[in-house]
Structure 1
Amino acid sequence: MSFNEANAKGVKQPHNDPLVIMLTIEGFNTKRILMDNGSSANIIYLPAFQQLKLDPKRLSSFDSPLVSFSEDRVYSRGIVTLTVTVGTYPMQLTRQLDFLVVDCPSSYNVIIGRPTLNKWKAATSTYCLKVKFPTDNGVGEVKRDQVLARECYQAVLAANENHTWMIEEKEEGKMEALETVELAEGEANKTTKIGMTLSPEMRTRLIQFLKENLDVFAWSYKDMPGIAPEQRRRVFAPERDQAVTDEVTKLLTAGFIREVYYPEWLANVVLVKNANGKWRMCIDFTDLNKAYPKDSFPLPRINQLVDSTAGHKLLMFMDAFSGYN
């Protein structure tokens, strides 16, 4: 497979447009598909997943988050296997491809990453805006949609979207070696562990700091008098737990919430299903309301008050409280 100047015929030059094509997914012609050699995963965004009328039961769980170049993290709704056809008969391929379903704003419907390009044994040309791949009947190809590509690109710039995602790889077997440190002399049960790669000065300072704050450690339930025995940890079903994780991740990314510590008060999360089937996350402020009763200061029922110290009448006009009875 090769590209030459003839393959760029019809492409408006010069350009820096992304390679946006159309594929057949589950029997539907699907536009706004970005070919991204930098993405380590195939992505289908939730609106496109819903428009294809795919059964959510086809989703399988996927735990690793996706990370963008700006270090934004997003958790997928799951992974789904879809039938995708590329090219035109007879030079076409039909393959089963795995996609991560992602619920975040995007100008694209689908992102085709390296896993699919390698599976197709495909070659891409950003200059020619074309994809080529081998088939049993010769070399197939897919051309660009340059007009749609420019529309998507402008939308990406305006919304500052991330569309190149990498699966966060979990490093295994690389835990730092730890040493046990005794924090209270003569009490072998009051120990903790610190890293063995600390400098001697940092090690000394860290141990001294831990000993000075020995009271924050809880060695048994007797050391936790502030926690009510009837308090229980709330556990959600996997579907609801994922909904909470997704919502908290979005709020953290947007900067609407931050992590704080309240040792004496905590509001539980409550999930309510909307009419569209999505979960809405609410906070149960019942305990907070009990701790801080409503202030019930009634408004004056007369329109004249007397200032006893000054001896003058103060007229209170109720225009601002129209409808007050």
Structure 2
Amino acid sequence: MPIMISCKIAEADITVMKVHVDNGSSVDVIYEQCFAQLPESIKTNLQTTVISLTGFAGESSLPIGVLSLNIELADVNNDALVRQARLDFYVMRASSRYMMLLGRTAISKFGIVPPTIHGLIKFPTYKGIATIYQKIKVGRNVSADTRKQIVQLLVQYMDVFAWCENDMTGVPRHIAEHRLNVNPALKPVVQKRRGMAPDRVKWLYEEVTKLARHIND
């Protein structure tokens, strides 16, 4: 399930909305429409790169450049639960509904528990476990009274509404069905197993153990 959150670019004190947390991406991305809105003092730090990125369909794209930013994530209800990390973003000239994409690099540096069907992420800070929920938007043309009633209804019947595809059990296939747009005449190819260096395995084990200890407490 895609998770969309907001984050802060610490050196510019700018909050970026529509940030996609995607554990399927190996890199962190800033889309061109977001990069264009950044202050010149930040855009001048853009570095050239010759590394091309490969998409899901196998297509390759050359980034505009690489931009290093200090990103801050904070708990939605407690500003004391905050964490920062330095990330290298690939600036992409591509159309997207998102402004930024936090991939596996960001997930690793922040110690993020990957997105779940609950529509939230968790990550450790020095003062405890922080939680960020995905926001649900109500139409801007709705009156204040109606908006309040909608929010109360959603909260009251939280266990009734389908918040993701996994909640919609028993839906007929002719109404909703996910399929891959692939050529059935082509032979499937098994990807190579991706191993991890021993030092990374050790670090990952320590981080997971630390996170589990915080959750149990």
Range class of TM-score, shorter chain: 0.5 to 0.7
- Cα drift, residue 132 of structure 1: 0.6
What is the rounded CA distance, in whole Å, between the counterparts of 1:95 and 1:146 in structure 2?
Answer: 26
Once the two structures are superposed, what CA deviation does each residue of 1:114-167 show, in whole Å capped at 9, x if it has no partner? 00100111102321111111111000111102449xxxxxxxxxxxxxxxxxxx
Which residue of structure 2 lines up, in the alignment, with residue 100 of structure 1? Answer: 90
SS at match of 1:58: coil
1:124 alignment partner, SS class: coil
Amino acid of the structure 1 residue aligned with 2:94: C
The aligned residue for residue 81 of structure 2 is 91
Q: Distance in 1 between matches of 2:69 and 2:125?
A: 20
State the secondary structure of the residue aligned to 1:123: coil
Distance 2:115 2:94 in 1: 28
Aligned pair partner of 1:35 in 17, 21, 36: 21
Given that 1:19 and 1:35 are in contact with CA atoms closer than 8 Å, whether structure 2 keeps it comes out as yes
Structure 1 runs not aligned, ≥5 long: 1-16, 149-325
Q: For the pair shown, which has the larger CA radius of gyration, 1 or 2?
A: 1
The structure 1 segments of at least 4 consecutive aligned residues displaced by more than 4 Å after TM superposition are none
Tell me which residue corresponds to 1:69.
56
Tell me: higher relative CO, structure 1 or 2? Use CA pairs within 8 A at least 6 residues apart: 2
Offset, 1:56: 3.2
Which residue number in structure 1 is paired with residue 118 of structure 2? 128
> 1:298 corresponds to which residue?
none
Q: What TM-score results when the alignment is normalised by the length of structure 1?
A: 0.39
Verify: 1:113 aligned to 2:100, yes or no: no
Distance 1:67 1:99 in 2: 15
CA distance in 1 between partners of 2:109 and 2:103 (Å): 10
Shift of 1:30: 0.9
- Say what the alpha-carbon RMSD is for the aligned residues: 1.6
Distance 2:18 2:102 in 1: 11
Identical amino acids, percent of aligned pairs: 25
Unaligned ranges ≥5, structure 2: 139-217
For residues 70 and 147 of structure 1, the distance between their equivalents in structure 2, rounded to whole angstroms, comes to: 31
Q: Paired residue for 2:5?
A: 21
User: Could you tell me the TM-score, scaled by structure 2's length?
Assistant: 0.57
- Asked if structure 2 preserves the Cα contact closer than 8 Å seen for 1:45 and 1:103, the reply is yes
Q: Is the Cα–Cα contact under 8 Å of residues 84 and 110 in structure 2 kept in the other structure? A: no
Is the 1:20–1:146 Cα contact (8 Å) retained in structure 2?
no
